[in-house]
Amino acid sequence: MDLEPNGSFFCMKENNLFILIIGDKMKILITGAASNIGFETGVKLAKKGHDVYLSVHYDYEIPIVIAKIKKLNLDNLKCFRLDITNEIDRKKIKKMDIDCLINNAAIGIGGSMLEIPLASLKENFEVNVFSTLRLSQIYAADLFLKKKKGKIVFMSSIAGIIPISFLGSYSATKASLITIATVLRRELRLITDNVKVKLIEPGIYNTGFNDVMLENKLDIKSKYFPDLENITLKQKKLFALIGHDNLDSITDKIVTAVLDNSNRLLYRAPFTQALMTKLYMLLFK
């Protein structure tokens, strides 16, 4: 008798007959998955046979995502609206019987620490930190009530370790997620081994997200940095130079984290930026 892997299934060969055996098929929710890393990760997981729900922030994004899904012919890839800052929306997760939550939704607000409005800083933390944690709390509590196994994946960033000038707000939110994921994992291991916590730290990818974040700091008319436009241009050129166009290195890491039942916490990509982060931590921490 031979077992041959086939995505989330196994083909058992016995007497020259193949019998399909369902393996660890999961229901996976990815927030902020209208495009780029969230969407591409969902596609890879769906192709492995898992049921994947892509959540988007705005209603107008739904038909756009559905059109992309139809082209891929993936019936196990669904899309719906979930505003993670809305408590009513967050509680939708209770009815979904999710096996893995991937916290991908985030916004980036630029600006110097001298001048960024506190309202902007609060908005950045509300989305990236508070709402992400609240959704994870609801999900974890539901798992405990149902006595189920599950995974919580936090999408942080290498910027949470190596803060970027004029992107301090975003960097601070990602640093907070690193702490939250690390502490949550330690706390959960005191009471259960059924709920795994995974932390993803992507480097710079050329998805357009960084450009928006770099540009929106110019909305604040700086009193202290008259050369801010030139600084922004240099930052954009640097990001474009070191950033990766291909998302496979990070989406593969996320897929690995989702399918990994070990207690491993941290997953970084791309390799060169992950190595640079390790060196930074050795030299400056």
Catalytic machinery residues: 170
Q: Identify the three-state secondary structure at position 250.
A: helix
In the β-sheet with 9-14, what is the strand arrangement from edge to edge? Answer: 2-6, 9-14, 17-22
Buried-exposed string 99-119: b where 16+ CB fall within 10 A, e elsewhere: bbbbbbbbbbbbbbeebbeee
Contact criterion met (CB below 8 Å) for 222 and 115: yes
> How many Cα atoms occupy the beta-carbon half-sphere of 100 within 13 Å?
29
Max Cα distance, the chain (Å): 79
Buried-exposed string 158-172: b where 16+ CB fall within 10 A, e elsewhere: bbbbbebebbbbbbb
Contacts of 9 (CB under 8 A, 6+ apart): 20, 21, 22, 23, 25, 49
Q: Identify the three-state secondary structure at position 37.
A: helix
